[in-house]
């Protein structure tokens, strides 16, 4: 009887563990650098199936970077958004489509009015499947792009992600007037329209 009780308890524990593992696998991560992370955060938070988009830093050589340090362009980090999403509601391929349509892939070491390696465009891939899909999407863009210029966007392995300071999170929501002035003044929407037209 004690054996049966222990067996039932073990199976119940294993079932609970399996359910927890399944739940943990129900979401996935993607990381994109598209210039100012305020703008990319807004873009991805409006995509159905995206759970969150967090501004931060990735790809550098120093530990615990700050906005002030990465702004010098010497740490090697890029401004990124780390996206948590539900693969049953939105695919990684769709997130890649959104990425391309919201950057200038012909601009090296910068995006729009922001210049420096910290504003470079890049796809930080978390596994082999993401790498395969990212490479394929870049190939499609290179063949079908409605503009001239080489695609300089990087596809690189994901590195340690550092969450940006709290005042950067959801900046477009917390400071809508300043955000709109920045975005308009930077020429982001105008340049995207010139590059991609009405493609979304």
Q: How many CB atoms lie within 10 A of CB 91?
A: 14
Q: Is 6 part of a structural domain of the chain?
A: no
Residue 105's domain comprises: 31-196
The tally of domains found in the chain comes to: 1
Could you tell me which residue, 25 or 59, shows the higher pLDDT?
A: 59
B/e letters for 166-187, b = 16+ CB within 10 Å, e = fewer, are eebbbbbeeeeeebeebbeebe
Residue 2 in this model has a pLDDT that exceeds 80? no
User: What's the confidence (pLDDT) of residue 138?
Assistant: 98
Q: Is 7 part of a structural domain of the chain?
A: no
Q: Is 15 part of a structural domain of the chain?
A: no
Is residue 36 annotated as part of the catalytic site, yes or no? yes
Q: What is the mean pLDDT of residues 19-30?
A: 66
pTM of the model: 0.86
Give the domain CATH number at 76: 3.30.1060.10
Q: Is 8 part of a structural domain of the chain?
A: no
Q: Is 71 part of a structural domain of the chain?
A: yes
Give the CA dihedral 38, 51, 32, 26, nearest 10 degrees. 170
Q: Is 161 part of a structural domain of the chain?
A: yes
Q: Is 188 part of a structural domain of the chain?
A: yes
Residue 75 in this model has a pLDDT that exceeds 60? yes
pLDDT category at 94 given cuts 50, 70, 90 is very high
- Determine which one of 36, 39, 113, 186 is catalytic: 36
Q: Is 61 part of a structural domain of the chain?
A: yes
């Amino acid at each position: 009887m004690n054996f049966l009780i222990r067996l039932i308890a073990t199976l119940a524990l294993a079932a609970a563990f399996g359910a927890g593992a399944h739940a943990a696998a129900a979401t996935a991560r993607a990381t994109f650098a598209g210039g100012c992370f305020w703008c990319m955060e807004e873009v991805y938070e409006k995509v159905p199936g995206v759970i969150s988009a967090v501004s931060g830093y990735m790809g550098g050589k120093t530990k615990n970077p700050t906005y002030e340090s990465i702004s010098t362009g010497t740490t090697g980090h890029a401004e990124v958004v780390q996206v948590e999403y539900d693969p049953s509601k939105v695919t990684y391929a769709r997130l890649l489509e959104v990425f391309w349509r919201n950057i200038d892939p012909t601009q090296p070491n910068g995006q729009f009015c922001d210049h420096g390696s910290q504003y470079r465009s890049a796809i930080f891939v978390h596994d082999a499947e993401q790498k395969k899909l990212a490479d394929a999407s870049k190939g499609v863009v290179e063949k079908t792009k409605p503009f001239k210029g080489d695609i300089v966007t990087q596809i690189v392995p994901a590195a340690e992600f550092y969450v940006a300071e709290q005042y950067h999170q959801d900046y477009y929501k917390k400071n809508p007037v300043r955000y709109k002035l920045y975005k308009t003044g930077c020429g982001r929407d105008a340049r995207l329209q010139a590059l991609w037209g009405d493609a979304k």
